[in-house]
Structure 1
Amino acid sequence: MDRRRSFAISGLAGFVLLAASGCHSAYVEAVVRNDSGAAVSLVELDYPSASFGTETLAAGGEYHYRFKILGNGPTKVIWTDSARQEHTVAGPELQEGLQGRLTVALSASSATWNTQLHR
């Protein structure tokens, strides 16, 4: 009986250590910031296997979204400015398993990408 109990306690301790070691799903915390000086609309960020967006983003506003990268591929951001002109700016290539932060700052006619991603 003591041997079984010792084995069960060892197994439980191993499970607790595994759970505490940081086993979690990799995700990206994305922020789209409007630095254009005017409201923008139809904001969309495409990434491997999916996309997200918002209908409007006020001047100085931010849109936060959390996602998991499935597959590898390019990113791009698309938005319509206050003069109703659509803009598309290519972003970085993303690989499955990356996690961290991705920030896209929209200006009047361009976008700046800042990635803080790691495995």
Structure 2
Amino acid sequence: MRFLPALALLTSLTAATGCHSAYVEATVSNRTNKPIELLEVDYPSASFGTQNLAPGADFHYRFKVLGSGRMKLLYTDSAHQDHKSDGPFLKEGAEGTLAITITLTEINWQPAPTVTTGR
């Protein structure tokens, strides 16, 4: 019977310290005065997006980086003009937060998620 409490403690310690899954928490913000009709963010091995992003709105997405490569943002504005912006280069295992802000004059990417070692 003494074995069960020790096993429970070992299991909970393993769960608390064992696994850590790296991911990027991205937020795309429309800081223009017009809606964005189609938005796509490409990252190594996949992409995400939305059909509409209202002025002043944010779109949140969490993803895991598999492979390495440069990010890209593609979007179509309300005047049906296509826009493209190259983002940071990501390596597999990158993690952190990423803010992509679309303004009337530019697209800001900040900061570039990085790979954390020592796990």
TM band (smaller chain): 0.7 to 0.9
Supply the distance in 2 between the matched residues of 1:79 and 1:109 (Cα, whole angstroms): 14
1:59 to 35, 55, 58: 55
Deviation of the 1:64 alpha carbon: 0.7
Q: Which one has a bigger Cα radius of gyration? A: 1
Task: Give the one of 37, 40, 43 matched to 2:36.
Answer: 40
Quote the Cα distance in structure 2 between the aligned partners of 1:100 and 1:47: 14
Describe how 1:6-21 pairs up with structure 2 within 5 A: 9=6, 13-21=9-17
Paired residues of 1:28 and 1:69 also in contact (CA < 8 A) = yes
Structure 2 runs not aligned, ≥5 long: none
TM-align CA RMSD: 2.2
Counterparts of 2:44 and 2:20, CA distance in 1: 20
Secondary structure in structure 2 of the residue aligned to 1:42: strand
Instruction: Report the count of equivalent residues.
Output: 115
Kindly provide the amino acid, as one letter, of the partner of residue 83 in structure 1. Answer: A
Identity of counterpart residues, as a percentage? 45
Q: TM-score, normalised by structure 2?
A: 0.84
Q: TM-score, normalised by structure 1?
A: 0.84
Q: Counterpart of 1:33 in 2: which secondary structure?
A: strand
Q: Name 2:96's counterpart in structure 1.
A: 100
- Unpaired runs of 5+ residues, structure 1, are none
2:45 maps to what in 1?
A: 49
CA deviation digits over 1:51-107, x for unaligned, max 9? 000011000001111111111111010111122110000000011111111110012
SS in 1 for 2:69: coil
